[in-house]
Chains A and B, each alone.
Chain A
Amino acid sequence: MKEKLTSLWQRLFGDSVRAFGVVSIVFLISMAIAPAKNFFSEWRHYQHGYLSLIRNRSEANTLQRHFQGGIQQVWLPDLGVVDRCTSCHVGLKEASLTDVATQPYRKHPAIPHNLDQFGCTVCHRGQGAATTVAEAHNSTLAWEQPILAAKFIESSCGQCHHGPLPGTPQLNLGRNLLARQGCVHCHSVKLPDGSTLKPTDDPPSLSHLADKTTREWIFAWLKDPQAYASTSTMPNFKLSDDDARDISAFLIANSTSLPGDTLRLAAKASSDASAGASLYGESFCASCHAVQNAAGNLVGGDVGPELTRVGSKVKPEWLQAWLRDPRVYDPPTAMPHYRFNESQMATLAGFLEAKTDSDLLSNVHLDAATPEQIAHGKRLVSDYGCASCHEIAGVKRPENFAPELSRIGSKPVTQLIFLQGMQHTLPDYIAGKIKNPRAFSPGLKMPQYTFTAAQIDALTTALLSLNDRSYTLPPSLAVPGRTESDYQPAGKAGKLMTDLACFSCHRINGHGGDMAPDLTWEGSSVQREWLVQFFKNPGTLRPSLIRRMPRFNLTDSEVTELTDYIMTVYQSPRIDRDSMPNSGYSPGQVELGKQLFYGKYSCQGCHIVDTKTDKGYIGPTLTQVGSRLTAAWVFQWMKNPQALRPGTVEPNRSMSDEDAKALTAFLMSQKGGEKSPRPAKAAGSFDKLRTGHGAPHEEVAKR
């Protein structure tokens, strides 16, 4: 071994000429390393690949001309973007490369933004300045930011767009869940515009809990809220039997009775199930409340709590008091004050009380609570932060109970503690934390939610959009969302509208729900006599929809009060109600309108005027439209429906004034003398045009 090494040394450096030669060669080779590295770089390899890909295409010349060799970069100082991605992704902007499936040569899919204006990493993350695949896409030692998985890409839209976008369903869902599932009761989230994300759910006050329910029910509920109602937004705190026993003891002991003689059984609950079911249906309770049907599907809305097992929860006297006037127990409730009479109340209460589940409380046996248990319960209530969501007498709402999530989308991976076997990326961490929070440490207080995989992805998307970039963007790029106004109607009618909870379903002047039509301009739209009749008997307009306007049993003076207010205040400045008469059009004009209706515009595809011949049922039936709408509104609607109700399905036909006038004449002649039977199949499809958005209705049956 030693001899061999010596002879090698002799051969290479035996004399000065040899030594000089060898050293020169080594020197030359080392000088060549840098250019060689550059020559064999990944981006050059990909650019060669691109050139051979386009060589045989028919549009090769155009592509060749567009091609620029060398390292390319998009530099946007305002956004802090230096993106060299286009060095390898050469064909990003080539419209003709739609059929290319191999990366990095695919054309970028169509999006509403220009690639030169935003670069790549604003949306995709990754390291823009890197020139190798591994450094650009992955999290390496020197770089923090890996590329964002495609399923979370909508989070990047949310950096600038602070409101819902039609093109980002997942982000919209995630933001809704964030506000609706109670996340922000404990975690505060400051939005880039400086406001704080507000919860949209309304956890009940527990101060008068003993009036409403029993300790046994509270115990069962605490142990597993979803066993009582699968749709419940209350998470599972995984309490031990003893802890649930002590918390229920504290909540009952802490509860005070509502002052006054509110809880009394006025009437004996009726056991007439069919009368109860029909009153439940007539009152359209299902617009807001869901009930599981025999097949196990939930039917009904999600504004109010699910009622499948409500009989196992509420005390009969509380239920009747609630049905009499919910605002006594909970003034800001979304539930309208139905003016039920005593017998209706007994029927409905009996119907609801029968909705029980014998399994729910069968295993709950609680002994009388001891003072120690109550004290321990109180300690648990403040430990778990119950007062973050619920109002509890004597327990202060904790401040900053859980970590703030304002910039969670930029949290450095080095600050995270991952579970074993988990991908070391921020999206995986967030999703894992939402999916099973206590897996990260058994001592954590965050409870277990029952989200689906799609909901977890949506929440993760929404949280990833809250990143450093979204807070530091140039203000000109921020697109603010729709802000809810705090509009309140005035006077006696205003009080009445609050009592009837009109705003739970209707939207007026930017405030209220979106289940039912926007009423901002209702006074310009409908005729007074029709509105009076509608309040008295709302059932006549759209039978067989699950979600519909209920009958509130209003007195005549209440109806007059509301009608006067709506007809006077909710007027559109674009429409002069008196500019066109509601009847008395010439037969010639009516005939012309009829021809336009059936010919040029073919309205019968969606509407019914003559129940014998017309079949369309996308829009509302128009058999009585001449007694319902004002002529001025119909005329303006013909001219531009979206100007009156943004998003309505009816297409804007850009009619001439003559056509619109003739159609108005024809429609106003439809006074609907006799009651016409509706085609049974049309159930469920009428409301779309008036509401302008079908989605809320459509969700009802899906869940």
Chain B
Amino acid sequence: MRTYLAFLLWVAFLGTSCSRKSEPTPALKPTAFGAAMVESSGGKQFAQTGSLLPQPLVVQVNDAQGAAVPGALVEFAAPSGVAFDPASALTDSSGQVTTNVSLGGMAGRYQITAFTFDKSRKKVELKLEEIALGYQQTAGRRLNEQYCERCHNPESTVERVSNYDNLEVKPHPFTEGDTLNKISDADLTAIIAHGGPALNKSALMPAWGNTLSKSDIQALIAYIRAVSDPPSRSAGPVYARN
């Protein structure tokens, strides 16, 4: 009987010593509690599937009066595949937490939740969305940068001066979901391939049908659907943590 017990102990010992589980990271101790959480920057970005978002995600914890709260614990949660660096942190002196987000391996929208606890231990949540572009959308994005963006994006950057303001008839920015979501894939294809006049729109939109291939145009439409705001129905699923 005693040898039997000893054997059991020995097995148990082996089991614990062989397990590869790493030590859990020591929990952060919040020194303050907020009442609300707001996004500072970093929402609605897009990146290739599986890759790092270009800008970090910054959220801010405020108290009931709207003043920033330093030292509050903020944790991030997302559907599987999304990684945060760090996944939890205390707010800095300006009440903010900055985290780098890598998206999951499947194209679509990822819902990210940042949460903290208020004084009464109630969960305060902030939901954000980030967009992962698959192969086709990434190809469309490249075509957009090469051919479309200088007229269709009203924002100028140092390296790309927008032509938007110079056009008599203003083109639709691709994020303009209210308008673009109502146009069917077939109509978008016609406008891109045959130019604005194909649908009684401005001739300033030239015909690209001889320059872009069919799959190029499909890729562009996939990209336009992926970035539209409000989201297009054909943008693919929204991944949320269940």
Contact = CB atoms under 8 A, between A and B. Distances in A.
A374 interface: no
Given A606-B163, A615-B166, A111 B206 contact: no
Contacts of B204: 602, 605
Nearest to A685: B161
Contacts of A166: 139, 142
Nearest to B210: A652
B160 A109 contact: no
A151 B50 contact: yes
B50 A651 contact: no
Contacts of A702: 158-159
A454 B105 contact: no
Contacts of A602: 202-204, 206
Contacts of A112: 215
Interface stretch (A96-104, A310-318, A622-630): A96-104
Interface in B191-240: 202-204, 206-208, 210-211, 215, 218-219, 222, 234, 236-239
Contact of A99 (B50, B51, B237): B237
Interface string A143-161: 0000001111100000000
Contact of A101 (B134, B160, B211, B238): B238
B135 A454 contact: no
A653 B51 contact: no
Contacts of B158: 684, 701-702
A699 B163 CA distance: 19
Contacts of B142: 166-167, 169
Interface in B70-124: 81, 100, 102, 104-108
A538 interface: no
A652 B211 contact: yes
Nearest to B137: A109
A518 interface: no
A415 B234 CA distance: 46
Interface in A675-703: 681-685, 693-694, 697-702
Given A99-B237, A101-B239, A150-B49, A649 B159 contact: no
Contacts of B17: none
B206 A653 contact: yes
A618 B52 contact: no
B159 A698 contact: yes
B146 A98 contact: no
> Which one of B135, B166, B218, B236 has the greatest number of beta carbons of chain A within 10 Å?
B166
Interface in A61-115: 98-101, 103, 106, 109-112
B135 A601 contact: no
Contact of A697 (B81, B104, B159, B165): B159
Nearest to B237: A101
The binding surface of chain A is classed by DSSP as loop
A151 B222 contact: no
Interface in A167-224: 167, 169-170
B163 A616 contact: yes
A606 B162 CA distance: 11
Contact of A617 (B104, B161, B211): B161
Nearest to A421: B22
A150 B203 contact: no
B138 interface: yes
Which of A100, A618, A683, A702 has most chain B Cβ within 10 Å? A618
A453 B167 CA distance: 40
B150 interface: yes
A306 interface: no
Contacts of B105: 149-151, 153
Interface string B148-166: 0011000000111101011
B189 interface: no
A601 B81 CA distance: 48
A297 B166 CA distance: 30
Contact of A685 (B48, B150, B222): B150
Contacts of A693: 146
Q: How big is the B interface, by class?
A: 35 or more
B159 A618 contact: no
B7 interface: no
A149 B135 contact: no
A618 B239 CA distance: 39
Contact of A642 (B100, B107, B211): B211
Contact of B146 (A110, A682, A694): A694
Contact of B236 (A98, A153, A698): A98
A110 B206 contact: no
B144 to A, nearest CB: 12
A673 interface: no
A110 B135 contact: yes
A681 B164 CA distance: 12
Contact of B234 (A98, A170, A653): A98
Interface string A399-440: 000000000000000000000010000000000000000000
A617 B166 contact: yes
A600 interface: yes
Nearest to A457: B51
Contacts of B134: 109-110
B107, B218, B237 — which one has the most chain A CB atoms within 10 A of its CB? Answer: B237
B107 A109 contact: yes
Contacts of A152: 50
Given A101-B239, A167-B138, A170-B48, A151 B206 contact: no
Given A100-B237, A151-B102, A170-B48, A684 B161 contact: yes
B136 interface: yes
A166 B239 CA distance: 28
Contact of A150 (B50, B150, B202): B50
Contacts of A640: 210
B17 to A, nearest CB: 15
Interface in A594-639: 599-602, 605-606, 615-618
Given A605-B167, A652-B210, A681-B161, A109 B151 contact: no
Closest 7 CB pairs of A and B: A150-B105, A150-B50, A151-B50, A101-B237, A615-B166, A652-B210, A698-B159
Given A98-B234, A109-B107, 10 more contacts: A101-B106, A109-B135, A149-B105, A153-B49, A169-B48, A601-B206, A616-B166, A651-B210, A684-B159, A684-B161
26 contacts: A98-B234, A101-B106, A101-B237, A101-B239, A109-B136, A110-B222, A153-B50, A601-B206, A602-B203, A602-B206, A605-B151, A605-B163, A617-B161, A617-B166, A618-B151, A647-B146, A649-B146, A651-B210, A653-B210, A684-B161, A685-B161, A685-B163, A694-B160, A697-B159, A701-B159, A702-B158
Interface of A: 98-101, 103, 106, 109-112, 149-153, 166-167, 169-170, 421, 453-454, 457, 599-602, 605-606, 615-618, 640, 642, 647, 649, 651-654, 681-685, 693-694, 697-702
